[in-house]
Amino acid sequence: PAPAGLPGDPEPEEAVSDDSSRHGGRVRGFPHERGNWATHVYLPYIAQEEFLELLELLVSCARSYVPSLAAMEEFHLSLSQCVVLRYHWIEPFVRSLRERLAAFHRFFCVADQVKVYTNQNKTRTFIGLEVSAGHFQLLELVSEVDGVLEEFDLPTFYKDPSFHISLAWCVGDLSGRLEGQCLRELQDIVDGFEDSAFLLRIQWEQIRCKSGNKYFSFPLR
């Protein structure tokens, strides 16, 4: 549902802090400007107890290589980059997303390949589970989301994307420490985890869009 206070109401104030020490040293991808709302389209993943047990094993192993690694608190699979929307664009942007995504059905994918990622400006490093099955359906979704982004002259998603669920992160480009032996050990943990084949076969039931502090949900049929 559209949040209260969107059409016709004066633009709300957003609480803003660029003090990176208040959020783990993370650096803003673009400067904050009043009226700009950071916006992201994604598939939410609700972690079960078994998944959190696997996460604990993986993070514990990886911290022997990068002690500053922090586990993610929420999990998702991105269908867009983080883009900037003007406040008065939010309602038509969400309406267009809803129209384009209305025909999509629920589907499964498998996310079981451990991979190391860095963000574009190399300020953060991530450990993620890359999708090994279900890639085609994800590309179809991205195509529709990209169509909406193009309507608003916003950057589309990456070409040949590596769809993944991020598990843990650290500040800086520490990919060199996590790749190689560490990555092999992490993959062995995933492959050997009890019921991992069942656990990492994920059914997606809804798409979400986060814009500033507002959330919008698009259920899959």
Q: What is the CATH number of the domain that holds 125?
A: 3.90.1140.10
Please give the mean pLDDT across all residues of the chain: 89
Predicted confidence at residue 35, as pLDDT, reads: 84
Q: Say which residue the tokens 């802090």 belong to.
A: 17
Catalytic one among 32, 88, 135, 164? Answer: 164
11 belongs to a structural domain? no
Predicted confidence at residue 164, as pLDDT, reads: 98
Distance separating the N- and C-terminal Cα atoms of the chain: 17
196 belongs to a structural domain? yes
Query: How confident is the model over 48-95, as pLDDT tens digits?
Result: 999 999 999 999 999 999 999 999 999 999 999 999 999 999 999 999
Beta-sheet pairing, 206-211 with 36-45: antiparallel
What 45-51 contacts at long range (C-beta under 8 Å, 24+ apart), as own/partner pairs, is: 45/75, 45/76, 45/77, 45/165, 45/202, 46/75, 47/75, 48/199, 50/195, 50/199, 51/199
Predicted confidence at residue 34, as pLDDT, reads: 75
Is 135 an annotated catalytic residue? Answer: no
Query: How confident is the model over 101-154, as pLDDT tens digits?
Result: 999 999 999 999 999 999 989 999 999 999 999 999 999 999 999 999 999 999
139 belongs to a structural domain? yes
202 belongs to a structural domain? yes
Q: Which pTM does this prediction carry?
A: 0.86
**Residue closest to 106 by CA, chosen among 63, 43, 150:** 43
221 belongs to a structural domain? no
Catalytic one among 23, 32, 40, 76? Answer: 76
Is 32 an annotated catalytic residue? Answer: no
Q: Are 42 and 77 in contact (CB under 8 A)?
A: yes
What range does the domain containing 76 cover? 34-214
Q: For residue 32, give both structure tokens.
A: 């904050």
**Which residues 6+ apart lie within 8 Å of 8 measured at CB?**
none
Number of domains in the chain: 1
Phi, psi of 152 (to 5 degrees): -105, 15
94 belongs to a structural domain? yes
